[in-house]
Structure 1
């Protein structure tokens, strides 16, 4: 977990460079040293007709508001991704509170309170105050309209750098003024109007939202589901609510792995989307979701049913982690969980020591079924680690490198799958921090967890050594190849400081590290970072989650190292952990244990990490996707490729490059090349700045572990990431000059001129 100082340094750098788009904006500013007279707000002419939410209001909110106000990190918890969120209003309580000593009450929209009145009892105050008529009445009593009008009254200079008083620190103290305190706020923060730190709303947009507020936030009737969707909802709810013991256990396992998903039907790929929930009402009745902190918490003594609940909010990329449902999926799940050979005798309980440990709760389900289920949609599950319950991602992503590849151990070579006694013996060693709830004190249990990791890895190594008496070690056959058809077999992860992206295939050039995940690692990462993580937990719970993930990262890396020549493993690992090789986890708990075994992978070069990645990609060539044409194509897959386009030829001058030139760039920048596509269309690329670290083994002082000279730049076609930090717009004819200027950034100068010439700032009217 990065310190606030590190985060401030990072975000301040984005602000100075004019970077940091809407995702980094916050509702209200830091305290300023002097108070000015309240600005005069513009008059807003009311609309004389009813405002239509779906057709008029929602598009404005989605274009200008929800990118900041749609997630747990919505400033002041004001969520504008639905009418209900606007009606709920704002709160001075923080979801992300790094100093919280006790867990806080959850405040999940649509889950933890039924209506605005109930939210008022939980500390939320209104930001809208309308008469319910078509004529505004004292619209300035509405905080939302006042904030929007302030942005219109005092706009920031169009296309210019932000003034230093406009702070973009995502962890700064928020003002969150209650109704009646707007005048004081505006005096202190004259540039704190909405949308924050961007171009103001147009007159039409402001008039529309003000009229919507004045009319009492009218919504629209719930959209009726298409008949085909109704039929499929019935099919899936019937599947999830089977009566046999086997069906009930399987349904619980699926629910605990789907609770974060946006489910959709394969014949309706653009929606509607659904969440699977536990409801006190049976299929066919209105869903009444049972609110629990975690998906495996006790739902109570009354009967419940698994239901598909339509998602009513605007869709935003960060939380849109999709999972497809269809006839083939249903048949696959039946084969894995209902038709496989197991004969359950009991239902899993909800006591924390059982429910929080999937190896105990679901020990009756064959490990092969569980692991194959995770592999089938590996990208989805890795996305849940990376883009899941922590919108800031300070727990899930501070623990990983900025760029690495992921592959998986084949079930036929994973001894936790092949040898049931391994998991049976390991079960008490694989418990997770969430067993202790959301008020965990790490000092009470952390030493015990480290010891258990050491015991488990010793046990695991004994099994692998016994299965390989000649010490030959792994071969490429040990790497899951997706059965020749599943593109989830190879993944790329990019970390963008406090969020991350998961892509299929190996992309972006050769990274420093890679993971090979086996079943115990896969399941534990999920239950540590997703099912067991409570964003409303105390700081110790968050720290314990992060520290446990250190073990899982190192174990995944060690699995990869086991495929390298024996004599190269320790020095390569040490190069990944400069400054951290004396840590107990490195030396004892997660030390390399495969040194007595060799490798069956032949090597011809000294760059064995890059060579192994090429071999893994070739082994998975049927599912690896197209070769990376920009960042340095690897291996035989590159032969016979079509000649690069003119744009690709230019971008290759910086794509995949390493050095100081990358250091000034934001984490993710959109690059729009005007007129370079077919028929004069624009081409869009993502420029991804991968920051090099001496190690990622510490929770604090990340800035002290950065190595800018080793930073790399990956360029990929299309949009990558949930939160692009900046945008460059370049005419096709100017692309060579743009590339040359980027390369010249290594001299320590030139970024301001690069932005001035090609940048699209957040204050630009086109933004």
Structure 2
């Protein structure tokens, strides 16, 4: 089940009773006490919203743009439009909190409806939020029942519209399909509304936005560096800003504080006044300064990418960009749209090696920004990604765009802004897609010819793959698609994937430009389709660059296999004619190649390795165990149930979870968390087909200790002594009502009275063990029925 776009029907503030009108109290409704004025927003109200609402209502994916992570989000209110809605055809006006407007009145002028402001004498019942709390109609759906996802009037914003909507849709409830909050939590919200819904005062806001003492020097040093006005610093700062603006910034100081890097009209030391441009390379229209603004709003974790600027990062940037001699005398470059959108033109003077090494230093957050951001949502480019693939990088020493930088400028016209595709309804004519795709692959062909000439007598060996330079480097990354979201992880996770990517500098730069710097979630369907088509071509280019390392005789066959037997001429794919440099000992060159890299090539200090899901050549799935005492036993048993003949993961219907979290109770070291990740098999994912070619019989599954991603479809709870029965159920699953009933014993459906207790347990563990991921576990993909 997903969060539905129906104003605050997902707010998380459920009401267990009903009323007939303002002020009437029905059974189960909590009356407002005389202590209403004592309700404090920061200590009493926001914690409830953060625990129960932010899981759906935050960021670009918030239904009706209702963001409940801060009082500023409540003041913004609701919009008739949800940003990440694949059905939306026209572009909409940007509505970024604390950027595009700063007051409730400013948001109302932009078409947002207030949800907490109403007639004072009417109290809580005079607000839209109050109506949802006090006018819930008779016959509301029971917990666990999913509401319709395609209501024609999904975001009713006026008081009259809301009453009419609720009367016409009695099956809707808050949150849909999940239990209500407690009576005490409901009382707090209603009392706060009745008292006027006051937010934090100036002093409280100052405390929320204050920079901790331990971060002051880092913020000061970075702002000093980024705002120096000599051309070399100006262009370096511009490059860095355009590549980290979408991330949350950490200085790794132990404060836990996160920041956003923005362009401000005001200098350091003054209150930040954002320059409200839509894209990072849009013309700021006058003097501006780079500033760090502390983030205090709570948000979902699935789209939270953290970029570390602490430690030696500032020195590293100085060594990469400032110390070397540039290709041209440093000079400022303007913001003319024709050039600003093309990073190869804008930053031509900066040595490509400096740019590429900066991206490699930060490969994990850079690719997380690409594949975990709004462009990789179900509304945009997600459908052109396989469910699991590994990413490697060409070493800068062998990247011809680094060694021969003039090549990039020779083909700069091929790398600028791509024109849009014109959709008809929710689809685009195939001839329009083919034309867009041809434009994308032109550069790939030119690049391939250059490599064919330059390395004609050498071919490519293992040494041409980047091995990493520091322990924190990530020379091998795993991208996992979870149906409606995706996640990126260091190392080779899961068994051997169908496809692998090798990225060089121009390819990595274009992926980032397509998916992040040049992508606006507020854009039209034409722009979304243009990003999807370009990403389709870039994916194919990355795959063929990997194939360049394999024997010539296997390249075309491998590519055809990856694309479900498509005619390569139709695909416009052109495998390289480079000779094979590596002498493979087996017929499985893909496996042999990556195993050599992991065991012998990647820098040992990086810790790159396969995880327990990977089966070496000839290795078999582990055996079942009679009992499970620790997490290693648990993982062995679950992985035994992942053998290909298992029918549980190949059912191929809507009961399957792409991502699930399993709580194992009672192991030797306490309760444990295991992530179930389903790798759905796509015969191909190219836009040329315009539909997903799923092949459930070839699905695979991975089991991982801890948390993968942040948007599960379901939670499961299993006692350790019941694991043999649970594992056997997975291993020998049959699609029958009896099997479903047995599985339901372990599955936590939305109607389960324990739901919030279990969610809170997972959330606490996520905060403790989730690594760099911060925020609330996302419930936007929580579904029923289960697998």
Measured in 2, the distance between the counterparts of 1:277 and 1:714 equals 39
2:533: which partner in 1?
547
Measured in 2, the distance between the counterparts of 1:462 and 1:700 equals 28
Indicate the SS of the match to 1:348: coil
Contact 1:389/1:535 (CA < 8 Å) preserved in 2? yes
Shift in Å at residue 24 of structure 1?
9.5
2:102 is equivalent to residue 123 of structure 1: no
Contact 1:318/1:391 (CA < 8 Å) preserved in 2? no
2:776: which partner in 1?
none
2:495: which partner in 1?
509
Measured in 2, the distance between the counterparts of 1:699 and 1:746 equals 35
Measured in 1, the distance between the counterparts of 2:2 and 2:421 equals 38
Shift in Å at residue 539 of structure 1?
1.0
Q: What per-residue deviation string (whole Å, max 9, x for no partner) do you get for residues 186-206 of structure 1?
A: 222223221222101100110
2:561: which partner in 1?
575
Q: Give 1:539-618 correspondences, 5 Å limit.
A: 539-578=525-564, 580-581=566-567, 584=570, 586-587=571-572, 590-592=573-575, 594=576, 596-618=577-599
Aligned partner of 1:405 among 372, 384, 390: 390
CA distance change for structure 1 residues 186 and 564 in 2, over 3 Å: closer, same or farther? same
Indicate the SS of the match to 1:492: strand
Contact 1:83/1:217 (CA < 8 Å) preserved in 2? no
Contact 1:516/1:560 (CA < 8 Å) preserved in 2? yes
- The count of aligned residue pairs is 719
1:138: which partner in 2?
123
Measured in 2, the distance between the counterparts of 1:616 and 1:292 equals 43
2:296 is equivalent to residue 316 of structure 1: no
2:445 is equivalent to residue 458 of structure 1: yes
CA distance change for structure 1 residues 421 and 737 in 2, over 3 Å: closer, same or farther? same
2:102 is equivalent to residue 114 of structure 1: yes
Shift in Å at residue 635 of structure 1?
7.2
2:487 is equivalent to residue 480 of structure 1: no
1:674: which partner in 2?
665
Q: What per-residue deviation string (whole Å, max 9, x for no partner) do you get for residues 599-657 of structure 1?
A: 2333233322222222222222615637545313447999xxxx983212212212474
2:348: which partner in 1?
363
1:654: which partner in 2?
641
Q: Give 1:702-713 correspondences, 5 Å limit.
A: 702-703=691-692, 705-713=693-701
2:367: which partner in 1?
382
Contact 2:242/2:517 (CA < 8 Å) preserved in 1? yes
1:499: which partner in 2?
485
Aligned partner of 2:607 among 621, 625, 638: 625
Shift in Å at residue 563 of structure 1?
1.1
Measured in 2, the distance between the counterparts of 1:533 and 1:52 equals 39
Measured in 2, the distance between the counterparts of 1:442 and 1:247 equals 46
Measured in 2, the distance between the counterparts of 1:53 and 1:22 equals 25
Q: What per-residue deviation string (whole Å, max 9, x for no partner) do you get for residues 468-511 of structure 1?
A: 232x3111111111125344111001101121010100011111
2:239 is equivalent to residue 230 of structure 1: no
2:764 is equivalent to residue 759 of structure 1: no
CA distance change for structure 1 residues 422 and 111 in 2, over 3 Å: closer, same or farther? same
Q: What per-residue deviation string (whole Å, max 9, x for no partner) do you get for residues 555-594 of structure 1?
A: 000011111111011111101111543664x23xx421x1
Measured in 2, the distance between the counterparts of 1:201 and 1:91 equals 25
Aligned partner of 1:373 among 355, 358, 363: 358
Measured in 1, the distance between the counterparts of 2:722 and 2:255 equals 38
2:238: which partner in 1?
252
CA distance change for structure 1 residues 659 and 172 in 2, over 3 Å: closer, same or farther? farther
CA distance change for structure 1 residues 723 and 172 in 2, over 3 Å: closer, same or farther? farther
Specify every segment of 5 or more residues in structure 2 that has no aligned partner in the other structure, as ranges: 11-17, 621-629, 756-787
Specify every segment of 5 or more residues in structure 1 that has no aligned partner in the other structure, as ranges: 1-19, 30-35
2:625: which partner in 1?
none
Range with greater deviation from structure 2 (331-340 or 736-745): 736-745
Q: Give 1:259-298 correspondences, 5 Å limit.
A: 259-268=245-254, 270-271=256-257, 273-298=258-283
Shift in Å at residue 157 of structure 1?
4.5
Measured in 2, the distance between the counterparts of 1:427 and 1:707 equals 39
Range with greater deviation from structure 2 (597-606 or 666-675): 597-606
Contact 2:562/2:683 (CA < 8 Å) preserved in 1? yes
Measured in 1, the distance between the counterparts of 2:673 and 2:138 equals 34
